[in-house]
Amino acid sequence: MASIPKRRATLLDVAAAAGVSRSTASRVLSGEGAVSAGTEERVRAAAAEVGYLLNSAARTLRTSRTMLTGLVLNNLVNATFHVVAEIVQQRLAQDGYRMILCVTGGQAEEEAEYLTTLAEQGVDGIIVVGSGANIEQLNAIHRAGTGIVNLIRAGKGAPGDRVLASDRDGAVLATEELLELGHRRIGYIGGPAQTNSGRERFQGYQNTMHAAGLFAEDLVLRGPFSPDFGAEAIQQMLRVPEPPTAVYVANHEASFGALPTLRDLQVRLPADLSLIAHDEPSWFQYWDPAVSIVDSGPVELAELAATRLIAAMRPGGLAERPREFRVGARLVTRGSSAALGS
């Protein structure tokens, strides 16, 4: 004899088990209303007891919200992006949202495909650490009713709020520090000009070197956010007729290639070359010597981006005028940078 399938628990079952009204049970389980902590605890315990599963499809039809969000970023090599992914996920979860993580590998085509997928899934909002290559697509998604926040890197004309680091200020801090240490030939390894971080860090370095009358085009190398570029760039820089005595590695991913290459070439930091990197993974503190860095404040950037996305996803949020927010940079000096000749 065939067994009779067990009836799926309903919201009424939860309400009866918790001793509350159906509307109260609904508010607790959907996260769409305020109730006391005791009531919430009773309702959630009752839901677990009766085996209730939230019908997300029905909720989407009722509220026009999926409670899904997307985070699009270039890679997980960049230590800042690790922090961003963790903090954003935690902050969104506090408001009942689930996050889909999309890692593009720095490829504009891959980024476009992920944006299409997120749009097809009906996400309520997207945080984009973008390549700057898919602005039209982002604008189309935004016009369709999806909240957008641009984080760290934003292309010109991108929709939604922009939560950015003080990249120009950070570059000025690093360059001025090396100048004050007596260096005159200061190399620059940076990211592509199509991203705001690539443009602004270069502007900070360039303006500071021009003001000192020391800007040298042969000491500037800009390329993709990758360790391979960093390895190639540092080797090329050391081959110029008058090599630098200091280098500012403003492309964070490039530093992952530059540092091991310097070690392999037996270039001693800071005796042979002083170096300051932009942003850091935790292991920079334990490199020999510890690496001087510009700290962009990744925790603050992530928390602010998540807060702004939540605001954009609320009723009327898309109608708000886009705003730009900046998180300040600070210089952390360690053993990899020292006075010239020391």
The encoded tokens of residue 271 equal 């005796």
The encoded tokens of residue 62 equal 């009722």
User: How many Å apart are CA 130 and CA 79, to the nearest integer?
Assistant: 16
pTM for this model (two decimals):
0.74
Q: What is the pLDDT of residue 2?
A: 43
The answer on 49 and 140 residing in a single domain is: no
User: How many Å apart are CA 300 and CA 325, to the nearest integer?
Assistant: 11
Mean pLDDT of 64-77: 86
**Domain range enclosing 45:** 11-54
- CA Rg value for the chain: 25
Mean pLDDT of the chain: 89
User: How many Å apart are CA 284 and CA 290, to the nearest integer?
Assistant: 6
User: How many Å apart are CA 131 and CA 302, to the nearest integer?
Assistant: 18
Per-range mean pLDDT, top range of 11-25, 61-75, 195-209 = 195-209
Residue 197 lies inside a defined structural domain of this protein? yes
The answer on 146 and 177 residing in a single domain is: no
The answer on 285 and 173 residing in a single domain is: yes
How many residues are recorded in the chain?
A: 342
The answer on 187 and 290 residing in a single domain is: yes
Q: What is the pLDDT of residue 329?
A: 92
Residue 208 lies inside a defined structural domain of this protein? yes
The answer on 188 and 71 residing in a single domain is: no
The answer on 177 and 112 residing in a single domain is: no
**The one-letter amino acid at 174:** A
Q: pLDDT tens across 13-48, in order? A: 888 898 988 778 877 776 666 778 888 888 888 888
Mean pLDDT of 94-121: 92
pLDDT at 60 over 50: no
Per-range mean pLDDT, top range of 14-23, 32-41, 123-132, 236-245 = 236-245
Q: CA dihedral in degrees (114, 116, 120, 123; nearest 10)?
A: 60
Residue 4 lies inside a defined structural domain of this protein? no
Which is more confidently placed, 87 or 24? 87
The answer on 201 and 255 residing in a single domain is: yes
Residue 60 lies inside a defined structural domain of this protein? no
Q: Which of 256, 279, 296 is the last residue of a domain?
A: 296
SS3 string of the chain? Answer: CCCCCCCCCCHHHHHHHHCCCHHHHHHHHHCCCCCCHHHHHHHHHHHHHHCCCCCHHHHHHHHCCCCEEEEEECCCCCHHHHHHHHHHHHHHHHCCCEEEEEECCCCHHHHHHHHHHHHHCCCCEEEECCCCCCHHHHHHHHHCCCEEEEECCCCCCCCCEEEEECHHHHHHHHHHHHHHCCCCCEEEEECCCCCHHHHHHHHHHHHHHHHCCCCCHHHEEECCCCHHHHHHHHHHHHCCCCCCCEEEECCHHHHHHHHHHHHHCCCCCCCCCEEEEECCCHHHHHCCCCCEEEECCHHHHHHHHHHHHHHHHCCCHHHCCCCEEEECCEEECCCCCCCCCC
The answer on 221 and 145 residing in a single domain is: no
Residue 77 lies inside a defined structural domain of this protein? yes
Cis bond before residue 315 (omega within 30° of 0): no
Residue 106 lies inside a defined structural domain of this protein? yes
The answer on 30 and 121 residing in a single domain is: no
Q: What pLDDT band is residue 63 in, cutting at 50, 70 and 90? A: very low
Q: pLDDT tens across 134-157, in order? A: 999 999 999 988 999 999 888 788
The answer on 305 and 158 residing in a single domain is: yes
Residue 133 lies inside a defined structural domain of this protein? yes
Structural domain count of the chain: 3
Contact 281, 79 (CB under 8 A): yes
Which is more confidently placed, 307 or 132? 307
Q: What pLDDT band is residue 55 in, cutting at 50, 70 and 90? A: low
Percent of the chain scoring above 70 in pLDDT: 93
pLDDT at 209 over 50: yes
Contact 195, 223 (CB under 8 A): no
Q: What pLDDT band is residue 131 in, cutting at 50, 70 and 90? A: confident
Q: What is the pLDDT of residue 210?
A: 98
Contact 149, 163 (CB under 8 A): yes
Which of 147, 153, 165 is closest to 75 using CA atoms? 153
The answer on 292 and 276 residing in a single domain is: yes
pLDDT at 57 over 50: no
Identify the CATH number of the domain in which residue 188 sits.
3.40.50.2300
Q: Which residues pair with 164 in a beta bridge?
A: 326
CA-based max dimension of the chain: 92
Q: pLDDT tens across 273-332, in order? A: 999 999 888 889 999 999 999 999 999 999 999 999 999 998 888 878 899 999 999 999
The answer on 147 and 105 residing in a single domain is: yes
Q: What is the pLDDT of residue 318?
A: 81
Residue 228 lies inside a defined structural domain of this protein? yes
User: How many Å apart are CA 291 and CA 156, to the nearest integer?
Assistant: 32
